[in-house]
A = this chain, B = another copy of it.
């Protein structure tokens, strides 16, 4: 009765488990598409199961509620994005390089994946509401923490304090997603990476300078 968690240890997957995983993935894939097309709120279960070509009951068997599904999706998006950030930053040690790499990670990740950007953005938008989908907040916090850690790691002897790190993270994530979203409405060109290059460079420099600033006077 209780859903069998898919075997993560790789080898010993029984046929049941494979089938379980397949259906689950079908649902997730369909949901990603539907959400990216019409948003997360106000989506009927049927729209998802029908697109996944799966019985209505299966949805409830696997997820039990919309929130769980949204949670799984946002989680995986953030996982992928985080993984990408880690990878791009792996060999960077200079603060400036890390900041560059972080932006590049976002651009590369979202490039040719407008759908995933929409999910990311819709998720963020959800967070502004009074009652967002359950469990959506923590992946985003995790994401912010990763940025802070990567930036903090490269800040080296600058010893940037926690608060400053947070601001840098907000700026960085905010800037890149904000730019991306606007660039889409007012199409400036088709190669976002090339297009962003000069302004990105300026932006990074401004963050570096900010990091170097004396601990800001926020004891108003």
- Using a CB–CB cutoff of 8 Å, the interface residues on chain A facing chain B are 36-43, 117-118, 121-122, 124-131, 137, 140-141, 144, 163, 166-171, 173-186, 188-189, 191, 194-195, 197-199, 202-203, 205-207, 209-210, 213, 216, 218, 220
- The chain B residue with its CB closest to the CB of A166 is B188
From residue A179, how far is it (CB to closest CB) to chain B in Å? 4
Query: A202–B38 Cα gap in the complex (Å)?
Result: 37
Residue in chain B with minimal CB distance to A203 = B206
List 4 additional A-B contacts (Cβ < 8 Å) besides A178-B179, A195-B218: A38-B131, A41-B41, A169-B186, A175-B175
From B121, B140, B194, B203, A203 is in contact (CB under 8 Å) with: B203
A141 to chain B, nearest CB (A): 7
| A39/B37 in contact, CB under 8 A | no
Q: Give Cα distance in the complex from A128 to B185, angstroms.
A: 8
Q: In the docked arrangement, what's the CA distance between A213 and B202, Å?
A: 10
Residues of B within 8 A of A140 (CB): 185
Closest chain B residue, CB of each to CB of A188: B166
Given A186-B141, A194-B218, A216-B198, CB of A37 within 8 Å of CB of B131: yes
List of 5 A-B pairs having minimum Cβ-Cβ separation, nearest first: A174-B178, A42-B42, A178-B178, A125-B125, A202-B206
